């Protein structure tokens, strides 16, 4: 069985590592804030003190970090992953990041004889904890086949999208829809509330109609209970909105609705709600409308 290194024990990484340990993989963990490693060390994981040390310990190196800057630091930085790798390993990056960075990583790993996949995920905290993620993969198909059993221990399905960068591109296209749905839910709930409708009656309709969505179902109830506990931080959704905007610009693709949504997300982060759940973007819409949506 492959030795695994996992770097980045945030909301998503914690669930994934728990499932790797459950599946019996010998796993070494590293996290910038080392205290997050301790519960996994108690369950049998080994602790690495640097990304380099984690990479040296493993056959397959997985990481799920916040953003491009974190990947720059952890992979390319001092005592980073690239300093610890050796030929024959596979590196799998599950971060939501720019496709251009995936291409740069692929080239840097190739120079060291290491295979690379960009393999970001759909699903959130619960899907990570329950091995129910949907993984979208860019890289060589044969490399995916070599690590498929590991990814299967984390996921409900795995989708091969094409060469390096295509997993990252698919993730951005999907998150464009996630942001649109959250924003549409927010606008509709604010409008309906100001019109005098009861928010829970509105949600009852949204749950069953031919435009229902698991996102409305998952977020709607918490939203009207004013519960913004973080499953996917609003600041990370702004990071993704910025990635989508730059990616679309590079391809000369107009995304007018997403451009407007990015402004709402920006405003909500500027109001101080970036650490809360992405659904907290509704608070910016509420402010503009002078109404609050609550059960
Ligand atoms: P998170 O809870 O904020 O965790 C972020 C992780 O990145 C932590 O381990 C953090 O370390 C590390 N990190 C941040 N900046 C760093 C730096 N400069 N150097 C080293 N490590 C750094 O985020 P998450 O929700 O798990 O998300 C992780 C990735 O998955 C993101 O790209 C996100 O967009 C994507 N994603 C998230 C969800 C979701 O629902 N949450 C769903 C799909 C995809 P510390 O512990 O030291 O802060």
Using the atom order of ligand 1, give the atom closest to the CA of residue 7. Answer: 9
Using the atom order of ligand 1, give the atom closest to the CA of residue 96. Answer: 32
| pLDDT score, position 122 | 98
Tell me if 86 is assigned to some domain: yes
DSSP sequence for 153-202: TTEEEEEEEESTTHHHHHHHHHHHHHHHHHHHHHHHHHHHHHTT--HHHH
pLDDT tops 90 at residue 124 = yes
Tell me if 294 is assigned to some domain: no
Distance 232 CA to ligand 1 centre (A): 9
> Which residue's entry shows tokens 């509330």?
193
Q: Tell me the residue range of the domain where 65 lies.
A: 4-163
Same domain, 154 and 51: yes
The three-class DSSP label of residue 264 is helix
Query: CA-to-CA distance for 5 and 55, rounded, in angstroms?
Result: 6
Question: For helices 282-289 and 166-194, what crossing angle results, to 10°?
Answer: 30
Same domain, 239 and 150: no
Which tens digits make up the pLDDT trace of 66-123? 999 999 999 999 999 999 999 999 999 999 999 999 999 999 999 999 999 999 999 9
Token pair for residue 124?
């959130």
Pick the last residue of a domain from 163, 185, 213: 163
Tell me if 280 is assigned to some domain: yes
Verify whether residue 266 is a known catalytic residue. no
pLDDT tops 80 at residue 21 = yes
We report the CATH number of the domain holding residue 138 as 3.40.50.720
Catalytic residue among 46, 52, 166, 171: 171
Same domain, 74 and 199: no
Same domain, 24 and 135: yes
Same domain, 83 and 226: no
Distance 49 CA to ligand 1 centre (A): 18
Report CA-CA distances (Å) from 171 to 76, 120, 157, 227, 264. Answer: 22, 6, 14, 26, 21
Token pair for residue 252?
């000369």
Pick the last residue of a domain from 139, 163, 187: 163
Tell me if 203 is assigned to some domain: yes
| pLDDT score, position 1 | 67
Same domain, 158 and 22: yes
Residue with CA closest to ligand 1 atom 18: 70
Tell me if 136 is assigned to some domain: yes
Tell me if 204 is assigned to some domain: yes
Q: Check if 64 has its Cβ closer than 6 Å to any atom of ligand 1.
A: yes
CA atoms within 13 A on the CB side of 294: 7
Report CA-CA distances (Å) from 120 to 78, 88, 166, 198, 206. Answer: 24, 22, 10, 38, 29
Q: Considering the chain, what is the average pLDDT of its residues? A: 98
Quick one: pLDDT band at residue 2, thresholds 50, 70, 90? confident
Q: What is the number of domains present in the chain?
A: 2
Same domain, 94 and 119: yes
């Amino acid at each position: 069985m492959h030795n695994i290194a996992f770097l980045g024990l945030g909301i998503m990484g914690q669930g994934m590592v728990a499932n790797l340990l459950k599946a019996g993989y010998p796993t070494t963990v590293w996290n910038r804030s080392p205290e997050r490693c301790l519960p996994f060390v108690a369950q049998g994981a080994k602790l690495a003190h640097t990304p380099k040390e984690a990479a040296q310990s493993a056959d397959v190196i997985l990481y799920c970090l916040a953003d491009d800057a974190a990947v720059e630091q952890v992979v390319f930085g001092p005592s980073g992953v690239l300093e610890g790798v050796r030929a024959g390993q596979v590196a799998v990056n599950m971060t939501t990041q720019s496709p251009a960075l995936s291409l740069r990583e692929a080239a840097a790993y190739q120079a060291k004889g290491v295979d690379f996949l960009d393999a970001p995920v759909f699903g959130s905290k619960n899907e990570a904890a329950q091995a129910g993620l949907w993984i979208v993969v860019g890289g060589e198909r044969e490399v995916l086949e070599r690590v498929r059993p590991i990814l299967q221990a984390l996921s409900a399905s795995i989708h091969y999208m094409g060469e390096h960068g295509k997993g990252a591109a698919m993730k951005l296209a999907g998150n464009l829809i996630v942001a649109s749905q959250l924003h549409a839910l927010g606008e509709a709930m604010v409008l309906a509330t100001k019109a005098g409708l009861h928010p829970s009656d509105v949600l009852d309709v949204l749950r069953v109609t031919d435009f229902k969505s698991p996102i409305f179902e998952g977020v709607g109830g918490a939203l009207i209970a004013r519960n913004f506990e973080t499953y996917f931080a609003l600041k990370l959704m702004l990071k993704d909105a910025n990635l989508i905007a730059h990616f679309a610009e590079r391809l000369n693709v107009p995304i007018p609705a997403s451009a407007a949504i990015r402004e709402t997300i920006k405003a909500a982060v500027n109001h101080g709600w970036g650490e809360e759940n992405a659904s907290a973007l509704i608070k910016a819409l509420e402010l503009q409308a002078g109404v609050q949506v609550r059960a």
